[in-house]
Amino acid sequence: MITDVTAEAYRLPLARPWDGGVAHNDLIVVTVDTDTGARGTGFAWTPRVGGGAVAALLREDCPEALLGQPVQPAPRWTELRHHLREAGAGGITAMALAAVDVALWDLAARASDSPLVDHIGRHRTSAAAYGSGINLDYSRDALLEQVRRWLGAGHDAVKIKVGSADTDRDVDRVATVRRLIGPRRRLMLDANQRWDLPTAEHALRRLARFDPYWIEEPLPADQLAAHQRLRQRCGVPIAVGENLRTVGEFEEYLRAGACDIAQPNVVRVGGITPFLRVAQTAAATGVPVAPHLLPELSAQLALCVPLVSMVEDIEDASFAALGALAQPSGVTIEAGTVRCATGPGHGLVFSPAAMQRRPPP
């Protein structure tokens, strides 16, 4: 039975601010203790905003629904979601749910003396990875240096940002990167919801000749009908999901045929339990999953889903790169390939001593 739930919030400064002035990520680490003495670890994560609200929800409102209950991830997720329903279905609520859910899956895998991947059910021993960064504000030279680092690390697929105010700038940058990586490597583009429908159509007509493997978030995530129209017209595969926050939102996109690649973020969608439900729904429609960010956990889930595309290897923003881990996670990305060899559970051991506590509100 669950006997205690605690949450601590930390601030992880980024080596270089992300476009838009994001200088740090907040990490909220949750521990769930049981009457057997076992402990599970979970986490929520958010760039720049929302960390304090997530921590408050975890400390003040989650224990009531969890204490005295069995360690069963799916039933606890359903009950906790109902308990938190007045705070909304997604956003802050989903991130708090995720932290608890990840901890419960960690506990369940430990109880079976299995790595998380094998406890869930391993579909494959490895998956492809791609180099990724937040680079719209980079100069062309800095962008090329970043891409060279990815190629040097063995990546055969890379993703860069588009969505400049001047489409000519995007065309120049994409053309330059395509020349550098050659015609056979995969090149993905990410507009981060910066376009409207006419702008997206115009930009993609000009960018299509560089053979983009996908265009990510070309439009605001709440514009389902516009994504449908764009997919029908543009001829470039569309990836969405980092800003879809519930299983229901993913189901709407998948039923409508509005995306070619599903990109759930395990924290933003509410945890491992809903992530796996999204992956099953995506597989039923023939859509592969490319987990968004958080490679130390996303890579493990990529080995468990029915259909997988690639894992995002985000430069300088993994937990290891941010100094958040006390020991290697067991997840490795080498030569563009992800493999996982954790001990029991998910293998993530955070290091409170190495992290800054988040300032109080």
Residues recognised as catalytic: 161, 292
d(CA 106, CA 104): 5
* DSSP assigned state of 287: P
* Structure tokens that stand for 131 in this block: 């180099």
Which string of DSSP letters, residue by residue, matches 14-28?
Answer: EEEEETTTEEEEEEE
Which string of DSSP letters, residue by residue, matches 48-91?
Answer: SSSHHHHHHHHHHTSHHHHTT----HHHHHHHHHHHTGGG-SST
Phi/psi at 337 (nearest 5 deg)?
-130, 135
Nearest CA to 270 out of 105, 35, 48 is that of 105
Angle formed at CA 36 by CA 34 and CA 38, multiple of 5 degrees: 60
Q: Which residues of 1-32 are buried (b: 16+ CB within 10 A; e: fewer)?
A: ebeebebbbbbbebeeebeeeeebbbbbbbbb
